[in-house]
Structure 1
Amino acid sequence: MPVAIITGASKGLGRALAMALAGRGWDLVVDARSAGPLAEAARELREAGRGAARVVALPGDVTDGGHRAALVAAAGELGGLDLLVNNASALGSEPLVRLADHPLEGLRTALEVNVVAPLGLVQEALPLLRQSSYLSSYEEVASRGGNGLSGGGGENGEAYDSRPYTENARNAGLSDSPPYIGTGGAILALSSDAAVEAYPTWGGYGAAKAALDQQSAVLAVEEPGLRVWWVDPGDMRTDLYAAAVPDDDPSGRPLPGTVVPALLRLLDGAAPSGRYTAASAAEVPGGVSTR
Structure 2
Amino acid sequence: MTENTEARVALVTGGSAGLGLALGRELARSGWTVVTDGRSEERFQRADLPDRVTAVVGDLTDADHREALVAAVSAQDRLDLLVHNASTLGPLPMRSLAEVDVADLQQVWRTNIGGPLVLTSALLPWLRKADGVLLSISSDAAVHHYEGWGLYGASKAALDHVTLTYGAETGLRAYAVDPGDMRTAMHQDAFPGEDISDRPLPETVVPHLLALLAARPQSGRYRAVDLPVDVGGDVR
Tell me if both proteins adopt one fold, taking TM over 0.5 as the criterion.
yes
Supply the distance in 2 between the matched residues of 1:93 and 1:103 (Cα, whole angstroms).
10
| Superposition map of 1:125-204 within 5 A | 125-132=123-130, 184-204=131-151
Residue pair 1:265, 1:281 contacting (<8 A) in 2 also: yes
Supply the distance in 2 between the matched residues of 1:194 and 1:257 (Cα, whole angstroms).
21
Deviations 1:44-81 (A, max 9, x none): 322xxxxxx3x321100001122112112212212311
Any stretches of 5+ residues in structure 1 without a counterpart?
47-52, 133-183
How far 1:275 moved relative to its partner? Answer: 0.4
Aligned in 2, Cα 1:282/1:107: closer, same or farther, shift over 3 Å?
Answer: farther
Are 1:267 and 2:213 an aligned pair? yes
Supply the distance in 1 between the matched residues of 2:8 and 2:20 (Cα, whole angstroms).
17
2:28 maps to amino acid: A
Supply the distance in 2 between the matched residues of 1:269 and 1:92 (Cα, whole angstroms).
34
Supply the distance in 2 between the matched residues of 1:72 and 1:4 (Cα, whole angstroms).
12
Q: Counterpart of 1:220?
A: 167
Deviations 1:3-23 (A, max 9, x none): 011111000000000011010
Residue pair 1:83, 1:188 contacting (<8 A) in 2 also: yes
Q: Counterpart of 1:105?
A: 103
Query: What SS does the corresponding residue of 2:177 show, helix, strand or coil?
Result: strand
Could you say which structure has the larger radius of gyration? 1
Q: Counterpart of 1:276?
A: 222
Residue pair 2:25, 2:50 contacting (<8 A) in 1 also: yes
1:282 maps to amino acid: P
Are 1:38 and 2:36 an aligned pair? no
How far 1:95 moved relative to its partner? Answer: 1.8
Residue pair 2:77, 2:126 contacting (<8 A) in 1 also: no
Q: Which of these residues, 113, 117, 123, is aligned with residue 119 of structure 1? A: 117
Q: Counterpart of 2:189?
A: 243
1:44 maps to amino acid: L
Query: What SS does the corresponding residue of 1:44 show, helix, strand or coil?
Result: coil
Supply the distance in 1 between the matched residues of 2:31 and 2:25 (Cα, whole angstroms).
10
Residue pair 1:194, 1:202 contacting (<8 A) in 2 also: yes
Are 1:2 and 2:8 an aligned pair? yes
Q: Which of these residues, 211, 227, 239, is aligned with residue 158 of structure 2? A: 211
Deviations 1:107-143 (A, max 9, x none): 21111101010011101100111111xxxxxxxxxxx
Deviations 1:251-270 (A, max 9, x none): 11111011000000011112
**Count of matched residue positions in the alignment of Structure 1 and Structure 2:** 228
RMSD: 1.7
Q: Counterpart of 2:3?
A: none
The structure carrying a bigger helix percent of its residues is: 2
Any stretches of 5+ residues in structure 2 without a counterpart?
1-6
2:99 maps to amino acid: D
Residue pair 2:135, 2:175 contacting (<8 A) in 1 also: yes
How far 1:287 moved relative to its partner? Answer: 8.1
Aligned in 2, Cα 1:249/1:286: closer, same or farther, shift over 3 Å?
Answer: closer
Residue pair 1:266, 1:287 contacting (<8 A) in 2 also: no
Q: Counterpart of 1:163?
A: none
Supply the distance in 2 between the matched residues of 1:188 and 1:232 (Cα, whole angstroms).
11
Supply the distance in 1 between the matched residues of 2:49 and 2:197 (Cα, whole angstroms).
25
How far 1:215 moved relative to its partner? Answer: 1.0
Q: TM-score, normalised by structure 1?
A: 0.75
Runs of 4+ off more than 6 Å: none
